[in-house]
Every structure is written in C-alpha cells, then in structure tokens.
C-alpha cells in the first residue's frame, strides 16, 4: 500500500512518537574520549582543537575522572614523550608516559577503562609509525622489525594496566603478533582493538600537531590505506579477525561511513569508529564562526556514525555529547 493509505508522517508527529520508533540510539556509554598526555607539567591548548589540551599525568587523571562522571566508559591514551629517537624506545619503556599515565588513571578510577594507542610515531624522531630501512624505493618502514616493537609496546602498556590495547600502525601481521605476545605474558584477557581500516587521511592534520608526530619526510601512504579502497578495507578487517582482533576499527569516520557499514556487515564484530581530529576541528571552526549549531551537529554526526554500523565511537566531542545526552 502506498499513499494515501501509507503516511510515514504519522510516526513523526510528536517527540514521544519519534523517540518510540527511533532505530539508532546514542548514549554516553557508546563513547571513548581521547587524551593527549605529555611528559611535562601543566596544560597546553591545541590550537586547531578548541577544548582539547595536551595534559600532564595529574591533569589526565582529572580529565579521566570528569569523563567517568559524565558516564563515558573509556579513555584512549596518546603519549608525547620527553625525548624521541630512531627506534621509538619511549613507546615500550615500562616507565614511559603512557605507562605512567595508565597506572595513575587506573589507581584513581579503577572502573574507568583505559585504552592505549599502540604505535611508534609519537616516539620516533622521524615521525613514522615504525623502524626505517633502505628499500628498493628509498627509505621505507620495515614491517616485520616494526611489528616486534609494536608487540613489545602493547605488552608494556597492558602490564601497566591498560584494559584494551589499540594498534594504529597499519603494519601487516601486528594483531597476531600482539595477541601472541600478550598471551605469552599471561595477559590473555586483554582485548585488542585493531585500527583495521585506517586510511591515509588529511583529516589527521590537527592530531599530528597535537601529538607532534608529523613525519619528517614523505607521508604514510606506504602503510595506511588508499582512500579509494572499500573492498580492501573489508579484507583488512577480515584478516584482523583471523589474527585475533576483538574489536575492529574504521578511521576516519564521517568520510568513510560506507566502509563502516560494509565492515560491520562482513564481520559482525564489535565495530569502533574514530571521529578524528580534522572532523572535530571543522565542526568547532564552523560553530565558532556561527555557521552551524554545534550541539545539533555533533549529536547528528555521532548518531549517523552509529547508524552506519559503529558500536563504539571515539570522539573529542565525548564530554560535550555526554553532557548534552544527560
Ligand atoms: C598514530 C595515530 C594517528 C591518529 C591516531 N593514531 C595519526 C596518524 O596516523 O597520522 C589520528 C587521530 C586523529 O586524527 O584524531 N598512528
Ligand atoms: Zn603511528
């Protein structure tokens, strides 16, 4: 039956009717708040990301507590170390900034989940996500040597108390290497959140300023995915499932909603979307200029990411969104 018997506007008449038939919900319990923790005192604002600061460990403990009080179940930690070197040793230092921050946050807020970003780019002096070696096309990131250090980083973070580890390096085989290393260390219950379909994206620009992780030369296109590829994203996700991933991530979120849906349908795994720094910066800039209603646009965006297939959304809007949803 079509019009006039069928009138889809019948269920749109009032807020209570619309609430009754809404397919996709958004709650604070779906959100993860990223935190940038530096090995320095105090708070330093990040110019392109109003409302987001680089923070010392004690401030990170406070920010984590504020997130928890708003009903946000997890924070995602990024570290900015005091010094960098070619091998990114700060990443797998048991007394590294993320390890110390993890211990401090877990001690203060045992019920809040701490997720840690597993990568070398914030710790290498060249800014790439792994170890460099000379290859047939010039300097390149050595996959297998990097995977070893990535696995070491994950174990060090999990030993420090990380509830979930999230590798973002895009080396082949790192999920299995991390799973094997965690299990060998008795950390069989630490889930791996795999950045499976991570695209080489201009939307990471503000993050790289925040984390001081811009590559000193070249770009990340020899390891992160080409933005044109959807089939390959599904292959990446399926491989990570096979390697033992517990959660599959798609990143960025908004320009890749089709990929999110395809990955969800192909894997039926818990899927996480990363609403990245550039997505945040654009919304904040447009809102500050008065061009959009920030609250409305953030809640619509996060709902759309959920509708596309994300069970979990990592977003710098987490605290604002959680407050608005209360
Ligand atoms: C590091 C990493 C990046 C992001 C998360 N982990 C940057 C990159 O790959 O260059 C981006 C997050 C954001 O833009 O919010 N591998
Ligand atoms: Zn990296």
- Each residue's pLDDT tens digit, 88-104: 999 999 999 999 999 99
Give the residue, out of 119, 250, 273, with the most ligand 1 atoms within 8 A of its beta carbon, to mutate for a pocket test. Answer: 119
Spatial CB neighbours of 258, under 8 Å, sequence gap ≥ 6: 230, 308
Spatial CB neighbours of 60, under 8 Å, sequence gap ≥ 6: 35, 37, 77, 101, 104, 105
> pLDDT value at position 209?
87
- C-alpha 18 – ligand 2 centre gap (Å): 42
- C-alpha 48 – ligand 1 centre gap (Å): 15
Tokens for 61? Answer: 């403990």
Mean pLDDT computed over 111-121: 98
Mean pLDDT computed over 233-250: 98
> pLDDT value at position 307?
98
> pLDDT value at position 171?
98
Mean pLDDT computed over 3-16: 98
DSSP 116: E
Catalytic residue flag (residue 284): no
- List pLDDT tens digits, range 131-189: 999 999 999 999 999 999 999 999 999 999 999 999 999 999 999 999 999 999 999 99
> pLDDT value at position 212?
84
The residue nearest atom 6 of ligand 1, judged by CA position, is 168
Identify the helix (H) or strand (E) that includes residue 159. helix 143-159
Q: Decide if pLDDT at 12 tops 90.
A: yes
pTM of the predicted structure, to 2 decimals? 0.98
Q: Decide if pLDDT at 38 tops 90.
A: yes
- C-alpha 2 – ligand 2 centre gap (Å): 53
Tell whether the torsion through CA atoms of 114, 119, 122 and 123 is positive or negative. positive
Report domain extents, the chain: 23-325
- Whether the CB-CB separation of 41 and 56 falls below 8 Å is answered with yes
> pLDDT value at position 118?
98
- Give the ligand whose atoms come closest to the C-alpha of residue 273: 1
Give the residue, out of 153, 213, 221, 223, with the most ligand 1 atoms within 8 A of its beta carbon, to mutate for a pocket test. Answer: 213
Architecture per CATH, 23-325: Alpha-Beta Barrel (3.20)
Around ligand 1, the residues with Cβ closer than 6 Å are 117, 119, 121, 129, 168, 204, 207-208, 220, 276-277
Strands (E) in 146-246, as ranges, are 164-167, 193-198
Q: Which of 68, 84, 106, 198 is the catalytic position?
A: 198
- C-alpha 76 – ligand 1 centre gap (Å): 12
- C-alpha 17 – ligand 1 centre gap (Å): 40
Q: Which of 68, 251, 284, 319 is the catalytic position?
A: 251
Catalytic residue flag (residue 68): no
Mean pLDDT computed over 216-230: 96
Tokens for 100? Answer: 């110390």
């Amino acid at each position: 039956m079509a019009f006039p018997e069928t009138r889809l506007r019948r269920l749109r008449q009032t807020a209570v009717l619309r609430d009754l038939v809404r397919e996709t919900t958004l709650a604070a319990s779906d959100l993860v708040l990223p935190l940038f923790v530096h090995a320095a005192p105090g708070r330093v604002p990040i110019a392109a990301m109003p409302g987001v600061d680089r923070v010392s460990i004690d401030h990170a403990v406070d920010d984590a507590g504020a997130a928890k009080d708003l009903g946000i179940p997890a924070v995602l930690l990024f570290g900015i170390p005091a010094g960098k070197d070619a091998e990114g040793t700060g990443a797998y230092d048991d007394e590294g900034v993320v390890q110390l921050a993890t211990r401090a946050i877990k001690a203060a807020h045992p019920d809040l989940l701490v997720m840690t970003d597993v990568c070398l780019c914030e710790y290498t002096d060249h800014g790439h996500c792994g170890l460099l070696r000379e290859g047939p096309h010039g300097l390149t990131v050595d996959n297998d040597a990097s995977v070893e250090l990535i696995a070491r980083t994950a174990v060090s973070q999990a030993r420090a108390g990380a509830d979930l580890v999230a590798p973002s390096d895009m080396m082949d085989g790192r999920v299995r290497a991390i799973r094997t290393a965690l299990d060998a260390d008795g950390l069989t219950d630490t889930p791996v959140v795999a950045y499976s379909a991570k695209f080489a994206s201009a939307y990471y620009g503000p993050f790289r300023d925040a984390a001081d992780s811009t590559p000193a030369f070249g770009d990340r296109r020899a390891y992160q995915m080409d933005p044109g590829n959807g089939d390959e994203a599904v292959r990446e996700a399926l491989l990570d499932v096979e390697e033992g991933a517990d959660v599959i991530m798609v990143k960025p979120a908004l320009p890749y909603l089709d990929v999110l849906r395809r990955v969800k349908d192909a894997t039926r795994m818990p899927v996480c979307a990363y609403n990245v720094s550039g997505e945040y910066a654009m919304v904040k800039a447009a809102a500050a200029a008065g061009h959009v209603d920030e609250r409305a646009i953030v809640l619509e965006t996060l709902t759309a990411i959920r509708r596309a297939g994300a069970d979990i959304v990592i977003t710098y809007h987490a605290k604002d969104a959680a407050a608005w949803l209360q």
